[in-house]
Amino acid sequence: MPTDPLSPAPPDPRGQRSLRLGVGTALCLAISFGFALPIPMIAPVLGAFLLTSLNRPLSLKAGLGLILMVMFTTGVGLMLIPLLRHYAFSGVLLIGLGLFLAFRFGLRGGNALVSLFMTIGLTMISAAGTVDFGLALLVINALAKGLLVAVLVLNFCHWLFPEPSHAPMPAAPPVAPEDVASRMALRAALIVMPAFLLTLTDPLGYLPIIMKAVSLGRQTCTTAARGAARELLGSTLLGGVLAVLFWCSLSLFVNLWMFFLWMLLAGLLIGRKLYRLTPSRHPPSFWLNTLATLIILLGQSVQDSYAGKDVYTAFAIRMGLFIAVTLYACLMMYLLEPQRPRRRKPGFFANHVFGRLKRSQS
């Protein structure tokens, strides 16, 4: 039906969404560090994923369902701990299969949050439990508290910056065909597995690497192979540069309020790019991965400083590992991308024969 030219245009919700992303991420960061939550970087990372995935506040029923989902995914990670301790090879194979099924579930139209928490539960909790069962419980405690903070902040930001009443609903993500979904899920699982195996050697030191690998695995499910290196490596390097600038700015005034304000500024700037309020040639997944990388690097540096470690050496090592994981992800995308059949060009002899035939017919 033709639309009335005098009718008002539907409101643009991108400004509200950008504000929610910036304010919500900064609030999650300030609350998690202010209350000294275990693994405080988890809350802002989960908050960023929730704020970009959900354009409506969570109802009570949805919140209870999310809690049950977290209980199930963390329970799966706990059940795999004895298998990893006593039958390591079989345990690693089962975790690889679980990662494949979790990524494939999301690609085939399943709930993206279920896929995300399934990958986190399979990797972070089981890796932590191989060293100490109490450490696995600490990771579960961090996930539960981080998710609770993220959900509360999500609903608060929707109250503070409500979605316009007549705003168009976002289009549902496309459901990948079965063969494409299987190939992408295998690729994402292979990207996460080396980081998981590295974390088994030192769970406390390498848990951020798993979070980065899970973020990359999710990103490769929506990234074309042709621009994979530019997007994956570019977002990782940009997140590292922003983390360095953030740390230098924070060192001028070291307090929680400035921590909140600098993260608010970074979240608003990235949100404008992510929602295309500012022109950008990169897709939203690029900017979401940049924000996640910034939070992980910055949060771990703050914890290193609190523990009295050499922040700059630890940051250099962690950034080097992030780049190595990203390059490996680019290699997997190149190797597991189906090659299109190329048309062979006729050789010199064929060109000569065909040319004489055409001339004789004319």
pLDDT of residue 228: 65
- Cα–Cα distance, 149 to 44 (Å, whole number): 9
Q: Report pLDDT digits (tens) over 282-328.
A: 888 889 989 999 999 998 888 888 877 888 888 898 899 889 988 88
pLDDT of residue 268: 94
pLDDT of residue 358: 52
Indicate the SS3 state at residue 252.
coil
* Residue 31: partners with Cβ closer than 8 Å, 6 or more residues away: 37, 43, 149, 153
- pLDDT tens string, the chain, 362 residues long: the values are 454 555 555 667 888 999 999 999 999 999 999 998 888 998 999 999 989 988 888 877 777 777 777 777 778 888 888 888 888 888 899 999 999 998 888 888 777 778 888 888 888 888 888 888 888 888 888 888 888 899 999 999 999 988 877 666 666 666 777 888 888 888 889 989 998 998 888 877 788 888 888 888 887 776 665 666 778 888 889 999 999 999 998 888 888 899 999 999 999 999 999 998 888 888 888 899 899 999 999 988 888 888 778 888 888 988 998 899 888 888 888 887 765 544 445 554 445 544 554 555 55
pLDDT of residue 180: 81
- Cα–Cα distance, 201 to 163 (Å, whole number): 45
| Contact in structure between 115 and 123 (CB atoms under 8 Å) | no
The CA-based dihedral angle spanning residues 235, 237, 241, 247, taken in that order and rounded to the nearest 10 degrees: 90
The maximal CA–CA distance of the chain, rounded, in angstroms, is: 88
Query: Is the Cα torsion angle 192, 196, 197, 201 positive or negative in sign?
Result: positive
* Residue 33: partners with Cβ closer than 8 Å, 6 or more residues away: 40, 256, 259, 299, 302
pLDDT of residue 75: 80
